[in-house]
Amino acid sequence: MKKIALITGATSGIGEACARRFAEGGYNLILTGRQADKLNMIQAQMEANRVEVKTLVFDVRDAEAAQQAMDSLPEPWKRIDVLINNAGLALGLDKEYEGDPEDWNTMIDTNIKGLLTMTRLVVPGMVERNEGHVINIGSVAGDAAYARGNVYCATKAAVKAITDGLRIDVAETAVRVTNLKPGLVETNFSNVRFHGDNARADKVYQGIKPLTGADIADVAFYAASAPKHVQIAEVLILATHQANGSVIHREEV
């Protein structure tokens, strides 16, 4: 059987791009997300290219649903070679003292707890087999807070700490752990952050050529394809005219 990559949040953006890149690279796929119709569409496209795909419909915030979904996999599909913890989001761009607590809860439960849930469900098998790779999708926002990013930045700082901690915990095994930290990536990220305000979301990418989901997927695949003695621990990926989370040079439009 081919190697298996499990990708959370696979219905759009970086997750969908990772699905396509790993399929091109010869992996079978387990794709998770909340939208069954989108997962089914991606599955049909992948299977047309002779890639085997399993889809699991659940929200990573629901640990019980995640457990049930993973338990439903046929035994051979539980031997996951690469786990890409991609599911995540930003909500709002408010000053911390004016933020929406519901937005905070959603970000914390998805970006941190959801990642931990999937790690807990998948990594024990990797440790037992003494092989596997965990790729967490962090963010440049995890390096330093930017204006009005407060809670989102905190969740991505947590992703860095959790990733580093896992790498320490599996150091005696052959399991590898990678943190990818993208900067500006043009996906539906900003549409979600601004609760569907497309005009406001479009302004985020004005005057600069941002990264694409495919750019991040290429880096993820590179990390997974490195020789077994090579562990790509962390990669910061920025658009050419982005220096960090808050310094961006924009051309006039």
Please tell me the least confidently modeled range out of 141-150, 189-198, 204-213: 189-198
Round the average pLDDT of the chain to a whole number and report it. 96
**pTM of model > 0.85:** yes
Structure tokens given for 31? 């794709």
Q: What number is the average pLDDT over the span 45-55?
A: 92
Q: What number is the average pLDDT over the span 233-240?
A: 98
Ramachandran class of 207: left when φ > 0, alpha when ψ lies in -120 to 50, beta otherwise = left
- Note whether residue 252 is domain-resident: no
From the candidates 27, 97, 146, 152, give the one annotated as an active-site residue.
Answer: 152
146 is catalytic: no
- Note whether residue 109 is domain-resident: yes
- Note whether residue 103 is domain-resident: yes
Which pLDDT tens digit goes with each residue over 7-32?
Answer: 999 999 999 999 999 999 999 999 99
DSSP E strand boundaries for 183-240: 234-237
- Note whether residue 153 is domain-resident: yes
- Domain containing 52: what range? 4-237
Residue 253 has pLDDT above 80, yes or no: no
Residue 1 has pLDDT above 80, yes or no: no
Which pLDDT tens digit goes with each residue over 65-98?
Answer: 999 999 999 999 999 999 999 999 999 999 999 9
- Note whether residue 247 is domain-resident: no
Burial letters for 227-253: b for 16+ Cβ neighbours within 10 Å, e otherwise? eeeebbebbebbbeebeebeebeeeee
Do 110 and 88 form a contact (C-beta atoms < 8 A)? Answer: yes
Which CATH number fits the domain that encloses residue 8?
3.40.50.720
- Note whether residue 95 is domain-resident: yes
- Note whether residue 246 is domain-resident: no
- Note whether residue 47 is domain-resident: yes
The total number of structural domains in the chain stands at 1
Which pLDDT tens digit goes with each residue over 185-195?
Answer: 999 888 888 88
- Give the confidence band of 63 by pLDDT, cuts at 50, 70, 90: very high
CA–CA dist 253, 246 (Å, integer): 20
